[in-house]
Structures are given as C-alpha cells and as structure tokens.
Amino acid sequence: MENNIAQAGHIISCEQWLKILDELNIGAFTVDAKRHVSTMNLNAQALVGLKDTEAIGKDCREVFVGVPCLAKCPFKAPGALITDEPIIQIQDEDQIAHFVTRMATPVLDSKHQVVGCMTILQDHSPIADLIDRIHHEERSLKIILDNLDVGIFTVDRGGRITFFNTAAEKISGFSRREILGESCSKIFGGKETQEICSMQDTIVNGQPRSSRQGKMMTRDGGSIPIRANYMALRSEKGTIVGGLTTFHDLTLVQQLKQAMSDRYTFHDMIGRSPAMQKIFEMINVVAATDATILIEGATGTGKDLLAKVIHSAGRRSDRPFVKVNCAAIPDNLLESEMFGYVKGAFTGAERDKTGRFQEADGGTIFLDEIGDLPLALQAKLLRVLEDKEFYRLGSRHTVKVNVRIISASNRNLENLVAKQLFREDLYYRLNLFRIGLPELRDRQVDLPILIGHILRRLSAAGGRRLPEVSEKVMEILLNYRYPGNVRELENILEHALILCQEKTIQLRHLPEYLQIRHTTRKPPAKISFRPKPLHASDAEERENIISVLQQHNGHRTRTAKALGMERTTLWRKIKKYGIIP
C-alpha cells in the first residue's frame, strides 16, 4: 500500500495522518491489499479495546468483531467513501458503549488499483462535516477527514496558508479563494501575536503545542475566542515543510463562563465606529474611579450592558451589581423596593426587608430609566448621593451605604428638568460623568461586525452551525434604520435563526415586517395621532413609536418587542401621545 499522500502541496505519511487524527480524537486504522491490518492509531486502539500488537498483521474481518463490515466493502467500490451504516455501537476495553461514526475509503495506487483501505472511527460528538475538499494527487485520499466540524488549516515554512477547510471557512468567515496564499497573520491579527509565535515555534523545533487559547480575526473585522493545536508537517524524509493548526470556536464556552461569573469587559460591546471607539476610551478611564455616571441613549442601544461593563472593569467588580428598573416598579412600591422597610411599617409588613441600595453596599447600583422616578422619591435619592445614608420605610434610624451609582435614561434628563419633571439638583449630581450611546442608525459601519457577532453568539448558544447570510438579506439588514436599535437587530437575527433550517438565511426567514418592507406586497399600516403640544424629546419619541407601529402594521406586541419595552409601557405611551393605531 502507498505509505505517503500528497496534501496541500506536502507529502504526508500514513503514520503522520494517523497522528493528526489522534490529535483530533479520531480513531483510524489501515489494511493492506490482503486485508491485513497495517497501521492503527491510539484512538482506534482505545475505541475497539485492542493494542496495535494484537491487530497488526491479522485479517481485519477477524480482528474487528465489534466493528462489523460495511454493506459494501471498500475493496469492491474503488474511489468511493463508504458510509452505508455510519453510526454503530461498540464497546471499549472497559466495556463502555460508544456510538461511533464509521467511514471507510479504499487506498489506490498510481494506476487507481485498490491496494488497501483506511477506516475512520469518530466517537459520536458535535463533530460533523470534515474537509470539503483537499488538494492532493491521489483521488482515494480526498475524503480522509470528510466529516469533521473542526477548523483546520496548513501553512508552509513561511507561514503562508496552503489549505483551509470548510469548518475554518465557517468559523472565520473567510473563503478559501481569498485566504489561500495569504500569511496566517491575516487571521491571527498581526505578526507578533501569541498564535503566530506558537505556529512559528512549532515549525522551527517540531514540538507540537496543544490546547492553546487565543483569538482569531474574522472577515468582518471582529475576533472570536479559539482553542488551537499546532503541529509540524514533515516530508517523507522527515524534513519540516510547514505546520498544521486545528482550532475550535470557544464562543459558547466564553458565554457560559461569563454567565457563571456575571462579569463583562468592554470587549463585550462591539463597535469600530468613531463614536463607539470614543466610548471605549472613556470606559477605560472612568471605570477605575467611583464617579457617578449617567448613561443616556435610545431604547435598545445597550445601556444595561454598558453599566455591567463599567462595573466589571472597576475596583468594585467582586462586589454586588444590583439593577433597579425605575419604570417597571409601581410608584407606590418603589420606595420600599429601593430602601427597604421594617416590620410593621405598613399592613402586611410582617418582617424587615432589605432594599436594593443595602443589597448593593460595597458594589454598584444601576438605576435604569431614572427619568421615570417620581419627584417625591427623587429627594430621597438625592440624600443618598450627598450623605450616603437613608431611612428604611417605617424606621427612625439611618442606614449608611457605600455604593457607586450608575443611572440610565432613554429620555433627555435636561429636557425633563426644563419641564420641572426632574429635580435640577439631582440631575447635576447624577450627571457628574455622562456617556451618550449612539443609535444604531448613526453607526452603520458597525452593522457587519454586529451581525456576525450576534449570529455567532446565538448559534453557539443554540448548539447549531453558523449559517451564512444571503446577499439579499444582508442588503436589507445593512439598509434598515433599526428604530429598536441593537435589541431589534438581535430580535431579527434570532427570529431568522429559529426559522432557518438550512445553510443560508434567506428573505423568508426574516420577520414579516421586513419582508413586507422589501417586497412592498402590503402597504404599511396608517398610524395617526391627535395633535397635542409636546416637547422636542417627547415628539421625537412619538415619531419613533409611530414609525415602528407602521413597520409592524399596528401590531402592538411586536412593536413593544422591537422597541425593547414592556407591552404595558407601550400602551401607556400610545395613550400619552394620543396615537391612534
């Protein structure tokens, strides 16, 4: 049997292929023309419970009694990948059952005569869809790794990419055509990165490097966390001619770790527009202080996330982060929720209750939608800011707290002060350091990277492969105005992922209002309003609500979701602004 194969311009021995498969936790063995086992890697030995010394030189039909022959033996089907019964169950040496994906391919000589066979045993796992196409001279080895969901690429000694598999395309967003021949620094973000150094060191000294965590740059300019293995590629004479990297997308792992620790960094906020870069610079400075921060921005721009990022980047990161949504709690309950109460303070107060400020002691309290805070409670909040103490409801004793206050509003507080709906002294206390989040329509340059980032995150969380986006859908997503901002973009992409069971997101997978907007098969709903004098900021909010209602043909539940507000809040604002759906 031929002992060498050509791949991506390199000659690789069968023994080295078996080692590569070992690195990928894949079992493999080969047999010669007489069906005698000729090689067997460590994973295959573990799966079938045999040592290579017990198998090599023996008839494969006698050795692998736990791995039944395929219905069509590869010896009878030259050049074909055989997977008649791809999933089988076998027991290892510890009698543990494994469901195994089994593939086999005949090995051909230069005259295309069958001179052996290679069988691959993959312990059933999320791995599926190997290399779509391998550059080689021998047709028989074109399908050697034909169903792996692991990113694989090879480089020559100069670091230029010579092979890039389908999974690598999916993870990075680069196609083979645009990446082959390029330096691997293009996908590793520079020539001096840890990943480049690991690859170069492996090529220089031949020592493999395993389970190295790092990052990979995507085609849209973002980065994703990866775990990579590096190994040298050798010629048939043993000379190192390049390197091979296998890598896994760690997006889901990172999300799980983040959820467990509830920590964020500014890298969780995506953006390369000048406005977002300016915000990132401000975060680096202000997060290290205890300054009171006011975040202003439209609904869905990411105020909640920004508050968590600031807390996690500061010195209080190991202390509580407590959120209070001032618009979601009824006015008559807000004081007791924020400051707590003592037993007997009112009917039903059967025990003392700790308020949110006390829960946040030593950490950060995030007052979301601060503009909806009643005037009576604003005075009590002002005292907390000035004296760091408050009275619990029904108590005569003050409670001292040490908290950092971050507040947020989708309404312009300065305008509310002008209308005497917000205390001026409280406004200036909260507005020590202001961060204004831009609307998505004002950061169009960020859309491609946001779309890619959200799709990767949602796909990883749902345990599915990252789909492509059709040109028509991408055109719609890049030109839409997003009245619901980033939250609406997330809703659109999540909707598309739920419906899309294919490799590519098409127009039919988008929410109906976007399809209608594109095809113009239905006119948008006519929304009117009763004329009433409004301040500029309220008039702007009214126009925004009317616009989203029109896009959703007057459907209030969908409109509320797109705007990122509760349905009851939308009803209240419709009544407030005299809107007539």
CATH T-level topology, domain 275-436 = Rossmann fold (3.40.50)
For residue 106, report the phi and psi dihedrals to the nearest 5 degrees: -70, 150
What is the signed CA dihedral for 413, 313, 257, 246, rounded to 10 degrees?
120
CATH T-level topology, domain 440-519 = Helicase, Ruva Protein; domain 3 (1.10.8)
CA–CA dist 180, 38 (Å, integer): 34
For the entire predicted model, the pTM comes to: 0.54
Residues in the chain: 581
Identify which of 224, 266, 153, 169 has the alpha carbon closest to the alpha carbon of residue 449: 224
Please tell me if the domain spanning 1-147 has the same topology as the one spanning 150-249. yes
The CA angle 462-467-471, to the nearest 5 degrees, is 145
Q: Choose the CATH number for 528-580 among 1.10.10.10, 3.30.930.10, 3.40.190.10, 1.10.10.60.
A: 1.10.10.60
The pLDDT score that the predictor gives to residue 534 is 61
- The overall average pLDDT reported for the chain is 78
CA–CA dist 119, 29 (Å, integer): 6
Beta partners for 25? Answer: none
Question: What's the average model confidence in pLDDT over 374-403?
Answer: 89
* Between 437 and 74, residue with greater pLDDT: 437
pLDDT digit string, tens, across residues 439-492: 998 888 888 888 988 888 888 777 777 888 888 898 889 888 899 999 999 999
pLDDT digit string, tens, across residues 35-75: 888 888 887 887 777 777 888 888 877 776 555 554 456 55
Question: What's the average model confidence in pLDDT over 213-231?
Answer: 83
Map out the domains of the chain as residue ranges.
Answer: 1-147, 150-249, 275-436, 440-519, 528-580
CATH T-level topology, domain 1-147 = Beta-Lactamase (3.30.450)
What is the maximal distance between C-alpha atoms in the chain? 97
* Antiparallel, parallel or unpaired: β 87-91 and 37-40: unpaired
pLDDT digit string, tens, across residues 303-328: 999 999 999 888 998 899 999 999 88
Place of tokens 């740059």: 217
pLDDT digit string, tens, across residues 103-152: 777 777 777 777 888 887 766 433 333 333 333 333 333 344 434 567 88
Q: Choose the CATH number for 150-249 among 1.10.8.290, 1.10.238.10, 3.30.450.20, 3.60.20.10.
A: 3.30.450.20
3-state secondary structure 301-344: CCHHHHHHHHHHHCCCCCCCEEEEECCCCCHHHHHHHHHEECCC
Cβ-contact 172, 215 below 8 angstroms: no
Burial class of residue 518, CB neighbours in 10 A (0-12, 13-18, 19+): middle
Q: Please enumerate in sequence order all residues whose Cβ is within 8 A of that of 533, keeping only pairs 6 or more positions apart, or say none.
A: none
Residue type, 168: A
CA pseudo-torsion sign 360, 364, 370, 375: positive
Number of H helices, E strands in the chain: 23, 25
CA–CA dist 24, 35 (Å, integer): 26
Question: What's the average model confidence in pLDDT over 533-559?
Answer: 77
Q: Is the pLDDT of residue 184 over 90?
A: no
For residue 340, report the phi and psi dihedrals to the nearest 5 degrees: 80, 180
CA pseudo-torsion sign 174, 177, 180, 186: negative
What is the secondary structure of 59-99 as a DSSP string? BHHHH-TTSPPPSS-GGGSTT--B-SS-EEEEE-TT--EEE
Cα separation of the two ends of the chain: 77
